[in-house]
């Protein structure tokens, strides 16, 4: 299991705490430090649609120029923008098996992760 996020993001920290408390093994990748490859964002977009994880609820989005926000309606531009500004990716992101989760919601994680019993997944 891979967990993508940022160490200064409260939802990422809650996710790390939840996974650890539930004995679930994961590899953490800090997207602010290591970035996100365009191929990875393209893969997520293919599976879930880029609008699912384009985070418009943060200051990074609100500080974009209006023209940039309009251009971000285009998948290709939005993906390039998320590569340049990883904070625009909704966090945390969990990849395991064929599943992909964006954001932390304890109830859905309980069902989607604990329900699959990935306590030894990595």
- The answer to whether residue 6 is domain-embedded is yes
DSSP 50-65: GGGTB--SSHHHHTS-
Q: How many domains does the chain have?
A: 1
pLDDT digit string (tens) for the chain, length 122 residues: 999 999 999 999 999 999 999 999 999 999 999 999 999 999 999 999 999 999 999 999 999 999 999 999 999 999 999 999 999 999 999 999 889 999 999 999 998 887 765 444 44
Residue 112 lies in a domain: yes
Q: Helix 38-48 and helix 75-84: axis angle, to 10°?
A: 130
Q: Which two tokens stand for residue 3?
A: 């967990």
Determine, yes or no, domain membership for 122. Answer: no
Report if residue 100 sits inside a domain: yes
Pair of tokens at residue 37 = 């490859």
Whichever domain contains 109, its CATH number is 3.40.30.10
- Which residue segment(s) compose the domain that 7 sits in? 2-116
Domain membership of residue 56 (yes or no) is: yes
Inside any domain, residue 98:
yes
């Amino acid at each position: 299991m891979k967990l993508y996020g940022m160490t200064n993001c409260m939802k990422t920290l809650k996710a790390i705490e939840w996974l650890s408390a539930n004995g679930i093994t994961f590899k953490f990748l800090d997207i602010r430090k290591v970035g996100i490859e365009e191929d990875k964002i393209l893969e997520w977009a293919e599976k879930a649609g880029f609008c699912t994880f384009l985070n418009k609820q943060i200051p990074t989005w609100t500080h974009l120029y209006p023209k940039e926000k309009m251009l971000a309606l285009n998948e290709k531009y939005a993906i390039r923008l998320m590569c340049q500004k990883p904070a625009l990716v909704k966090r945390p992101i969990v990849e395991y098996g064929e599943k992909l989760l964006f954001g932390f919601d304890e109830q859905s994680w309980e069902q989607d992760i604990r329900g699959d019993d990935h306590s030894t997944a990595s």
